[in-house]
Structure 1
């Protein structure tokens, strides 16, 4: 059950009554209830128009495994869930990956438009603190050009950001208080959630050798002449438009043969056009709380 917060029904009605395509950007800190609000808005809007939900939170992602941003067209009642489009950022936080996070969000919003979505609901990352957070959110909003900015605040922590768009043409700013029902999770709790998501995603994975010949290589690409340190690295196998087909955990890299051995769920490896190397490594056999590690 979704507990409806103050102002939510009014916003949902505005989306339903709108005559123009709407793009809603929901911004707030971690554990402010952004995802719950986005789910409510997407469900409400989808009864009136073709609606896309864009999940930009790579740490607590809902559409794909952690390290990915996703977009899905909300299904009509009775239809099976649609398969999401995923972009691999390579990290569970925007820090150090601002360009990848921004580009992924832009491409997913563009894909929603290509699929004729009349309403797009964007669930933003929870990075808002300090000058870095404000600048990051400014760039996201300026790039994605929403028609509605919805700010979930406990006080006035977003006013510095919102001031930049007070006179922005065609934008409505709405301020909502954080719902008392919003659940605050610890850093350890969020980490455990990610670990559970990774274990679920790779539950049916199997070892597979994939040739890198003729493929584009992106991200934190290792030195193919000295493949030490590749083991455990999270990689994404991408299609021609750079949407992720599957994530894999690197096991070995064979430079001379240009072959990478990975643990990966079943997918069509013939459709791969490029491989993106992330900065996150996984050890699914590690103790809880120790599954993730980062590489520079």
Structure 2
């Protein structure tokens, strides 16, 4: 059940009444209700138009496992498209986050989505947050920016787009029904999502011969400490085929042993190494660790 906030129905009506394609960028701080609003907009728009939901929150993703951005098309979603950022927050991974979002929005266009709703990361505060969101918006070129604010905290960002005739800016107050989740609850959510994703996983080997290597690539000649590293096996377009947890790198760096859901090795064109290590058997609260 979605608690509908003030101004939501008017925004949904504007999307339904538009004759042109719509690209909606929803921005706000963590725990401002972005995801709930996005779900509402997608559900209402998909009643009469092919609608894509692009989820850019790699920590609290609703489409793919943590560390990924995802895109699904409604009303009849097939398997989602995922991009591996390699971290559960944009910090230190701005390029991967922005590039992944751009590619997912392009894929939504290729799949003939008339409405695309983009759920942005919650990094909005300070100069870094404003610059990050500016670059996301400038690259993705939404037709509408929906700003969820408790006061005027997003006005510095919005000032860059209010005079653009091709962009409508909607200011919506954060709903009093929004529940602020502590960091421990957000961590528990990530851990549960990882456990669900790897529930049917098994140990497998993949040859690295001829494959591209991306991200935080370790020294393949001296792979000490590589165990537990989260990696993405990608198709030729750099969309995720499967995520895996490294178990071992065979001598010479030619074969990688990973714990992963079943996948087609012939579909893999590259391997991206992330900044997160996972120990699924560890005690709650200590499954994740991060590498710089």
Task: Name 1:240's counterpart in structure 2.
Answer: 236
Q: Which runs of 5+ in 2 are unaligned?
A: none
Match 1:278 to one of 239, 252, 274: 274
Deviations 1:159-201 (A, max 9, x none): 0100010112310000001011111100111011000100111
Query: In the aligned structure 1, how far is the partner of 2:288 from the partner of 2:264?
Result: 27
Query: In the aligned structure 2, how far is the partner of 1:88 from the partner of 1:106?
Result: 13
Alignment of 1:97-136 (within 5 A): 97-136=93-132
Deviations 1:114-141 (A, max 9, x none): 1111000000000011111111000000
Task: Name 2:23's counterpart in structure 1.
Answer: 23
In the alignment, structure 1 residue 159 sits paired with structure 2 residue 148 = no
In the alignment, structure 1 residue 8 sits paired with structure 2 residue 8 = yes
Question: Over aligned residue pairs, what C-alpha RMSD do you find?
Answer: 0.8
Task: Name 1:230's counterpart in structure 2.
Answer: 226
Q: Secondary structure at the match of 1:256?
A: helix
Q: Which runs of 5+ in 1 are unaligned?
A: none
Query: In the aligned structure 1, how far is the partner of 2:174 from the partner of 2:252?
Result: 55
Query: In the aligned structure 2, how far is the partner of 1:269 from the partner of 1:179?
Result: 46
Q: Secondary structure at the match of 2:62?
A: coil
Query: In the aligned structure 2, how far is the partner of 1:216 from the partner of 1:71?
Result: 24
Deviations 1:183-226 (A, max 9, x none): 11001110110001001111111000110000000000011111
Query: In the aligned structure 1, how far is the partner of 2:182 from the partner of 2:262?
Result: 34
Alignment of 1:162-177 (within 5 A): 162-177=158-173
Q: CA deviation at 1:267?
A: 1.3
Answer whether contact 2:53 2:116 (CA < 8 A) is retained: yes
Q: CA deviation at 1:255?
A: 3.7
Answer whether contact 1:238 1:272 (CA < 8 A) is retained: yes
Query: In the aligned structure 2, how far is the partner of 1:67 from the partner of 1:27?
Result: 19
In the alignment, structure 1 residue 254 sits paired with structure 2 residue 250 = yes
Q: TM-score if structure 1 supplies the norm length?
A: 0.97
Task: Name 1:63's counterpart in structure 2.
Answer: 63
Query: In the aligned structure 2, how far is the partner of 1:238 from the partner of 1:255?
Result: 23
Q: CA deviation at 1:75?
A: 2.2
Deviations 1:227-283 (A, max 9, x none): 011100000000010000100000101142600000000111211000000010001
Q: Which moved more, 1:251-260 or 1:213-222?
A: 251-260
Q: TM-score if structure 2 supplies the norm length?
A: 0.99
Query: In the aligned structure 2, how far is the partner of 1:129 from the partner of 1:242?
Result: 30
Answer whether contact 2:58 2:67 (CA < 8 A) is retained: yes
Query: In the aligned structure 2, how far is the partner of 1:74 from the partner of 1:270?
Result: 29
Query: In the aligned structure 1, how far is the partner of 2:212 from the partner of 2:94?
Result: 21
